[in-house]
Structure 1
Amino acid sequence: MSASGDESGVLTVIPLTGGAGEGGPPSLTGGAGKAPPPAPPPAMGSRVRGATLVLVLLIVGGTTSLLLLLLPPTTNGTPRGPRDFYSHAVTDIRGRRVELEAFRGSVSLVVNVASECGYTQAHYAALQKLYRELGPTHFKVLAFPCNQFGAQEPGSNADVEAFARHTQGASFPLFAKSLVLGVNAEPALRFLYDALGQEPRWNFWKFLVDAEGRPVGAWGPDTPVEELRPHIVGLVRDVILKRRSEEL
């Protein structure tokens, strides 16, 4: 406000702005002169909804992280790890790593062999005959020596190879002595057992695998190799026809 005097000497008070309102302080902006009331605190319902949203986000984020940990690792979006029998790697009779992928496209008869079993002579002879007649391009015999049944494969890998090659005349692939039962069983063999729901109970258990690495069937040592011939011939025929159609 400002003060001025008139001719009578009486001091007159002049408001700086108009519209202060009755009994109210003058307003510097020409408003009503009253300060706006403070904003009310957020309602309890809003706070609850906000806390619930945060909790949901935390749960979703944690669940997503857990699922990512449980999913199989991927490479460029493709899951790693064994998808079929041919996705495994094993060790051959001379200690070299072998990717079974090299046998994809061929039908395979996987057998746990032994050198001192009552089934040895007949099975080795029949397996070699089948391999000679149907292999090696479209059909393989894959032999895994094992000493878990009656301790009938006691020798070293070198002993097993000498016996199979020189005594039995086997020319099919031989792999290192392996465990075929228990938690430490060869993973490639374990894959077959889990897929078919059947484990070997003795030497010379035979597992037939198609050209894509899918287990087809299993037979024990009491089933002669020759009885498997129709199954094997049918799968081999499919392989040959497929290759011919792809060449056209």
Structure 2
Amino acid sequence: MPRNLIGYAYILLLFTLSYSCQTGGSRFGEIKPVSEICVESYDVNRLPLEISEMNSDPDEVTIRYRFVSQNCLCDSNPIFVCERPANWTVKMNGEEILPSKRQHMFDETDGCYVIGGRVLDGENVIELQGNGEISRACIAGDFNVLASDETEWLVAPSKTLKVAPLSGQGMPFYSGEVSYSRKYEAPETIGRRVLRITEWEGESCAVWVNGAKVANFAGKSLKKNIGPFLKTGENDIEIVVTVSEGDAGLLREFTIE
């Protein structure tokens, strides 16, 4: 064979091997998903409360919040959260309750009151008496928020989340993180492997591979080489989506190529 043809053949071989390495070609074997995408974890749900009744006089302000509960929420350990607890005497269904000294939800100026053992089926009333202003109050816990027939919100026991928008699963006011996971089986030779995320909704995404954080982004899509973080056998891929109130909070699909 002429020398120049041998040279061309050698260059072609190098190019083929290089392309195979970069694209996770067949010589590395296929990485196969061994589970569906599932919701691994999430933060507490919450229901913002609107003032239903307010009486003011020069010496004392009385504010009442009302919410409706279904099938009791004792097991979800819900809490009532309001600002500046030192300014208020708080009652839950007529019984005075005290704030936790160490627990906060928004910042150190708020008060958290455990109300799990005091929630009744049907209507519940939280009353504040004192001097001050309230700009936000809510109940928080592991429960669902549903729209009732009377065009008001109903809190009910939580259900397992699916890979679908949070707003349609009893979490229309959710703000926090949602963790999605999937397991993959990797061959003995791994090489370069590109994780692709193209369908998601939220503020930001973080990617974890076998417990190591490998990427954080806020764009529309991500392509990331995660080959160095994979191992032969089973691998855990976790995508943590951060959402704010009103976001769908959804990760539809991700692939490894």
TM-score scaled to structure 1, two decimals? 0.23
More strand by share: 2
Structure of greater Rg:
1
Pick 1 or 2: higher relative contact order, CA cutoff 8 A, min separation 6. Answer: 2
TM-score by length of 2: 0.22
Q: Give 1 or 2: higher helix fraction.
A: 1
